[in-house]
Structure 1
Amino acid sequence: MTTKDDRLEFEAHKREMSLALGKDEASFQQSLNTLIGLDKFDYFYLWSWMGVPIIQLPADILATQEVIWATKPDVIIETGVARGGSLIFMASILAAMGNDKAKVIGVDIDIRAHNRESIESHPMSNRIKMIQGGSVDDDVLAAVKAEIPPGARVMVVLDSDHSYEHVLAECRAYGPLVSEGCYLVVADTLIGHLTEEQAFTKRSKVWLRGNEPLQAVTDYLAETDRFEVDPVLNGKLVLSSSPGGYCVCRKA
């Protein structure tokens, strides 16, 4: 007895449900309220990847994995190293895909010694290059570009200073590096959906609506025709810190 090959049908259903979920404001508000409630437990900080704190929500980890697998970048640039788990995570996905030359470039204005040690002593360290300095400084941008081989497919994740001006400057600086078909991921767009009363306060800085990544990426997309928000991927990004932040590059 043979069973029906329903793989295409299954994927079509996933797409349909993702788009429907993206239009369901009640579900989004419910997820938003859940995350606001979880913040008192430092929920965003409770996860690790291969032994290193990742400071990402599970939904965003899965979304980023889907993007990397589907687009197969040779180079992933991430601004904002923090404790290093995200670099380790993306490097491990590249390693699992079998591209021996693929790497992750981590940029941060302050890579602390203990975090650097965690990254450099990790089995994935041979796929990671760290650059310390301001992410939009000319010398740092030059150093990043020098790490990109000719013809490499490039993906970018922006997760450093979340102020509007800085994120917009990063979009303008790093957006042009993204290859056609790859993604520009602007993290922590969730902040733009919070009222002042809902804002996460257990942070080194408190960002309020308007001075945050969602407004920055919205304005960046208005000034370029290279990117568009992926409606399917972002549609299912509830319980996410970056809804609306996954932008696919449509033009070389």
Structure 2
Amino acid sequence: MRGEKDPVQLFEQEKKERIAGYGRDPEFNALSRKWFQESMRRRYPYNFNWLGRPVIQYPTDVFALQEIIYSVQPELIIETGIAHGGSIIFSASMLELVSLCGGREGEVLGIDVEIRPHNKKAIQAHPMSRRISMIEGSSILQEVATQSLQHAKDKSPVLVILDSNHTHEHVLAELEIYAPLVSPGSYCVVFDTHVEDSEEDLFPQRPWCRGNNPKTAVYEYLRCLREEGRTAQDGGVLRMEVDEVLESKLQITSAPEGFLRRLPE
């Protein structure tokens, strides 16, 4: 009837207002942070598989990646950090679904300093392996970076996911190499930025800690973009911002301030 709001638009508006409310709710935010800390202490994200392979991620982050992949429909996803392979198999399966829904064909490039033989064998035997390529070596080595840039040549959109060594120096170097590959409207997702906000005893035998982690690297990289500027691989000006709306929606995420969206030209 005339004057009635479209139910789809109404639902989306209600969702938008609800998510904005989460961002203004300090009690809810504090509760989410507390639960995250306790779940991390209990190694909660190590409990899940994707299509038969361990995926060391929070379910909310996996859902966020699904939304991003469907929205962006990347021709290439570059992921640093392979581990058991669940994450790159997840990305490949999302690209398969995008294709089945009439979207473009896409592929995944996984990079890891060490791909253990049993994991490599399982990944290569998986039905999604036809969409996956892998490079073994540190993601910040010149030869690996050169191979990755060559792989990304003439591909668009490109989505980048950084989840390997979580020290400041390493992640900052990854950002310098891989963030310029991100297409306008796409993302560079930097995982484990939560380390900066975590209790000191959560990572006693790791080289990363408060003051030395992915979030500090993100802060420095965004500062460099503002003050010095960077040129993207496509020749455009590289401008990125934290997707605060997505973070408010998730609440539980290992990547607070780590969902970096490249702004359109």
State the TM-score, normalized to the length of structure 1.
0.92
Change (3 A) 1:95 1:112: same
Q: In the aligned structure 2, how far is the partner of 1:200 from the partner of 1:221?
A: 26
Shift of 1:151: 4.3
State the Cα deviation string for residues 15-49 of structure 1 (Å, max 9, x = none). Answer: 22223213333222212221222234321100010
Q: Alpha carbon RMSD of aligned pairs, Å?
A: 1.9
CA contact (8 A) 1:44 1:55 kept: yes
The number of residue pairs the alignment matches comes to 248
Task: Tell me how far 1:200 sits from its aligned partner.
Answer: 4.3
Give the structure 2 partner of residue 235 of structure 1.
Answer: 248
Detail structure 1 runs of 4+ shifted over 6 Å in the superposition: none
Out of 134, 137, 145, which is 1:141 matched to? 145
Q: Distance in 1 between matches of 2:214 and 2:37?
A: 18
2:176 — aligned with what? 172
Unaligned runs of 5+ in 1: none
Residues in 2 aligned to 1:208 and 1:176: alpha-carbon distance in whole angstroms? 26
Offset of residue 219 of structure 1: 1.4
Higher relative contact order (CA 8 A, sep 6+): 1
Q: Secondary structure at the match of 1:184?
A: strand
Q: For the residues of structure 2 that align with 1:231 and 1:8, how far apart are their CA atoms? A: 22
Which residues of structure 2 form unaligned runs of 5+?
227-238
* Higher alpha-carbon deviation: 33-42 or 185-194: 33-42
Indicate the SS of the match to 2:184. Answer: coil
Aligned mates of 1:4, 1:51 — CA distance in 2: 44
2:74 match: 73
Higher deviation after alignment, 28-37 or 64-73:
28-37
Q: CA deviation at 1:149?
A: 4.4
| 1:117 CA drift (Å) | 1.0
Q: Is the 8 A contact 1:94 1:102 kept in 2?
A: yes
The TM-score with structure 2 as length reference comes to 0.88
| CA offset digits 1:87-139 (Å, max 9, x no partner) | 00011000001156310100011011011111101000000000011101111
1:238-249 correspondence runs (5 A): 238-249=251-262
Letter in 2 for 1:118: A
**1:16 is matched with which residue?**
17
Q: Identity of counterpart residues, as a percentage?
A: 41
